[in-house]
Structure 1
Amino acid sequence: MMKIFYTLSIILLVSIAAKSQDRNPNSPGSEPATRIIKFYPNPAISFINFEFQRSYDKSYNFQIFNMLGKKVYEVNNVTPKTIVNVGDFFRGVYIFQLRDKSGKVIDSGKFQVSK
């Protein structure tokens, strides 16, 4: 009986921790209303476009990570439109981050590479 209780308690705690990590501190339970970066096509096959939807600081740093957390692409001093060749990327899900010069994440998102 106690073994079942402990198992259920662990499952409950893990699910609560996972839900709390999913939430955005700026607007709990929802995505931000306006995104800084628009990206397309998703899924990408040979390239993906990243465009700024509103004003930005040219000193922003743009990074792409694979699902293992390895940085696979980085650009400093971004331009209004960036085209990334994903021909050398493996098939899978990637995460992009836009950071200011202090390292704070301004925008982020996920995209898929399919070949």
Structure 2
Amino acid sequence: MKTFTLIFLMGVMLHFSGFGQEKYLLAATAPAVKILKFYPNPATTFIHFDFQKDYDRSYNLVIYNFLGKKVFELANISLTNQVNLSDFTRGVYIFQLRDRNGRIIESGKFQVSK
């Protein structure tokens, strides 16, 4: 019985000691600075996407509904961009900023409330 208790406690200690390291690894891989600022959130009629630092004009801004269907795409974006939400229904949307090769540079979500 003592052997089982000792093995059990060692397993618990190993499990929890590794748990903290996973959090550290996730935090280390997260991007430090966002290059795209979007507001207001939640939005009703318009949402604005503004760049915080240098950007490439070849980026595309793609917006998907919560089911994953593409509902909007803006190519050759500028420093400040405004999206009209009159054709959007109420709900949560996901945006992706993509480079010319289709790689995701940044993503996020916003809510439309009407």
**Structure 1 vs Structure 2: percent identity of aligned residues?**
59
The answer for unaligned runs of 5 or more in structure 2 is 1-21
The code of the aligned residue for 1:39 comes to F
Tell me the distance in 2 between the aligned counterparts of 1:90 and 1:58. 29
**For this pair of structures, how many residues does the alignment match?**
90
The code of the aligned residue for 1:63 comes to V
- Quote the residue 2:26 is aligned against: 28
- Quote the residue 1:109 is aligned against: 108
1:55-110 CA-to-partner distances (Å, cap 9, x unmatched) read 01100111000011111110111111110011210100000000001111001000
- Quote the residue 1:76 is aligned against: 75
- RMSD over equivalenced CA pairs, Å: 1.7
Name segments (4+ residues, structure 1) moved above 6 Å: none
Larger radius of gyration: 2
Q: TM-score, normalised by structure 1?
A: 0.73
The answer for unaligned runs of 5 or more in structure 1 is 1-22
- Quote the residue 1:99 is aligned against: 98
Is 1:63 matched up with 2:62?
A: yes
* 1:50 CA drift (Å): 0.3
Tell me the distance in 1 between the aligned counterparts of 2:90 and 2:111. 8
The code of the aligned residue for 1:81 comes to T
* 1:32 CA drift (Å): 2.5
* 1:48 CA drift (Å): 0.4
Q: TM-score, normalised by structure 2?
A: 0.74
